[in-house]
Amino acid sequence: MKYNYKELGLSNTKEMFKHANENGYSVPAFNFNNMEQMEAIIEACTEMGSPVILQVSAGARKYIGKEIVPFLAQAAVAYARSKGSDIPVALHLDHGPNLETVKDCINYGFSSVMIDGSHHSFEENIKVSKEVADYAHQYDVSVEAELGILAGVEDDVVAEKTIFTQPDEVEEFVSKTGVDSLAIAIGTSHGAYKFKPGDNPQIRLDILKEIERRIPGFPIVLHGSSSVPAKFVKLINENGGKIADAIGIPNEQLRDASKSAVAKINVDTDGRLAFTAGIREVFAKNPSEFDPRKYLGPAKEYMKEYYKEKIQTVFGSEGAYKKGE
């Protein structure tokens, strides 16, 4: 193996999920695409004493460069430790498309992977998820799989509408695949346009309950859980942007879910909006600015402050570990 995640100071998600479920919170899984976003995430989680899953999509990994990604994650751990915090940090592949990509990620220091077989048939999904679990477990890497289909855009795949996870399939899926956590579809969706104006945004906590009843204590994952804060949409639009009718998942519903067997909640869009709002604001106020520190700095601060707020209002993970000063 080129880079072993343990040597980079990273953790898999097993203990993290156990601790989260025993203590009624969820671990934040925040996506990043560059150094400033990684810093926003690790600074927020260090200050909050929250465990964190640094999430990288296949597209983000290509953008950053696969040789660079493990060292950004290693740097995140070094940052937390330098502040005296003992938060566990995982490096996770988001929406892994196939075994080949998973193998490459494990070779390059990932401590956790997702295999997203949700677009295949039930049987095919079981087959590919089991293959990945069998492979990853040899290296003590944790595996997330998905049942049901989320609406919205994921890499190149666009799903028009949600196909809710069927509770009567989860037991068979989990026992036949041997995966460590399960992403489910209960009405959350990817991207900024989750609901239409006039909709009553509602996730199906009843389906979640039924799934929990079938696989008690098993770690559940919610994707597509950005709240799409109106303040960032407004800032973007006031400063030359054009984002219309973007509506996310209400924070209160996510907080309820985080108290259940939901052990991991994925957020990407909110960070993108905060970051973009910061950049647009600088450029609108000072069009002559061309020092990247002057616009990426405020972008990072917006993202960091928002994630700290989200850890308190949604995840409930503040103080789960030692806070960094």
Ligand X SMILES: O=C(CO)COP(=O)(O)O
Ligand Y SMILES: O=C[C@H](O)COP(=O)(O)O
Catalytic residues: 94
- The region of 128-136, 143-151, 232-240, 304-312 touching Zn ion under the rule CB under 5 A is 143-151
What is residue 294's DSSP assignment?
H
Please check if 278 is assigned to a binding site.
no
- Measured from the CB of residue 32, what is the shortest distance to ligand Y in angstroms? 10
Q: Residues 92, 223, 300, 308: which binds ligand X (CB under 6 A)? A: 223
- Measured from the CB of residue 281, what is the shortest distance to Zn ion in angstroms? 28
Gap between the terminal Cα atoms of the chain = 35
Residue of 10, 81, 77, 4 lying closest to 41 (CA atoms): 77
Residues that bind ligand Y (CB under 6 A): 31, 57, 59-60, 94-95, 154-155, 190, 268
Tell me which long-range contacts 62-71 makes (C-beta under 8 A, separation of at least 24): 63/33, 63/34, 64/33, 64/34, 66/104, 66/108, 67/108, 69/108, 69/109, 70/3, 70/5, 70/8, 70/108, 70/109, 70/110, 71/8
Q: Indicate if the alpha-carbon torsion angle 205, 96, 98, 3 is positive or negative.
A: negative
What number of chain residues touch ligand X (CB under 6 A)? Answer: 14
* Residue 263 DSSP SS3: strand
CA 278/CA 282 separation, integer angstroms:
6
Q: Is 224 in the site for ligand X (CB under 6 A)?
A: yes
Spacing of C-alpha 174 from chain mean position: 21
Decide whether 85 or 162 has the Cβ nearer to ligand X: 162
Report the site for Zn ion in 213-232 (rule: CB under 5 A).
223
What is the number of the residue whose Cβ is closest to Zn ion?
223
CA 228/CA 271 separation, integer angstroms:
9
Q: How many CB atoms lie within 10 A of CB 22?
A: 9
Decide whether 128 or 282 has the Cβ nearer to ligand X: 128
Q: x/- site string to Zn ion, residues 78 to 117, per CB under 5 A?
A: --------------------------------------x-
Decide whether 46 or 226 has the Cβ nearer to Zn ion: 226
Please, which residues bridge with residue 89 across strands? 52
Q: Residues 39, 47, 94, 144: which binds ligand X (CB under 6 A)? A: 94
What number of chain residues touch Zn ion (CB under 5 A)? Answer: 4
Decide whether 190 or 194 has the Cβ nearer to ligand Y: 190
Residues that bind ligand X (CB under 6 A): 31, 94-95, 190-191, 223-226, 266-270
